[in-house]
A and B are shown apart, each in its own frame.
Chain A
C-alpha cells in the first residue's frame, strides 16, 4: 500500500521569505502523480501543483515550485515570496496512474503560518 509522510506538522515563515514543505512517499509503482493541496481557513481544498512521475522537470506554478526526487521518493513544495494568504494547511498526495482517483492517498498535512 502507498503511504505519504509529511514530517513537519507546523511551520512558520515571515512574509516575503521562502519556505519549503517536505513530503516523502512509499510506493512500488513506477508511474504516478503527486500533488500539493492547500486548505485555507475556509477549509476548501485547492490544488496547488501537480507532478507526473515520468516527467523529470519539476513543476512550477507562479510562486510555487516542487523539488521532485524520484529515486529518493521525495516531493517538497517551495513557496517563494510568501504572502499572508498562503497561511493554510498543505497536504501532499499520491495517486498511481493505474486505476482511478479513488486510489488517491493523502499525507496528514503541514500547517503553515505566514507572519507579517
Chain B
C-alpha cells in the first residue's frame, strides 16, 4: 500500500543532543512537508520541499534542519538550538507543489529527558 511512514513513533532527546526524525513516502510525490503540533494548537509549518534537492523554510524553521537527497525521503533534524522541542511532528506529502491535497504520516512524538 502507498503511504507515508514516519519513525520512530516516540523519541526522547537529551539536553544538547541532535535527533533526526525519519519520513519516507512511496507515493511518488514531488512535494514534502514537516509540521509541528503543540497541544491546543493547529499545525505549524517547519520546512517544505517542492522537489528533490530543494527545500525552503516554513514559519518556524529556527532550530531545525532538513535534507532532500532522495525523492522518497525528507528527514528532519531537531538541533540543540531548538530550546522547546517537545511536540508532535507530522510529515506530509502532495503530488506536486501546486496540489492542495496533503497526505500525512502517523507522526513522531518527541520529548525531552
When C-beta atoms are compared, the residue in chain A nearest to B48 turns out to be A102
Q: How many A-B residue pairs have CB under 8 A?
A: 61
**Contact call A104/B45, Cβ cutoff below 8 A:** yes
B2: interface (CB < 8 Å): no
B58: interface (CB < 8 Å): yes
Contact among B40, B102, B105 for A108, CB-based, below 8 A: B40
Cβ–Cβ < 8 Å partners of B90 in chain A: 45
Cβ–Cβ < 8 Å partners of A35 in chain B: 100
A-B contacts besides A50-B100, A102-B58, A108-B42, 17 pairs, CB < 8 Å: A4-B42, A9-B40, A43-B106, A45-B90, A45-B102, A45-B104, A47-B102, A91-B42, A100-B48, A100-B98, A101-B94, A101-B97, A102-B45, A102-B48, A102-B56, A102-B97, A109-B41
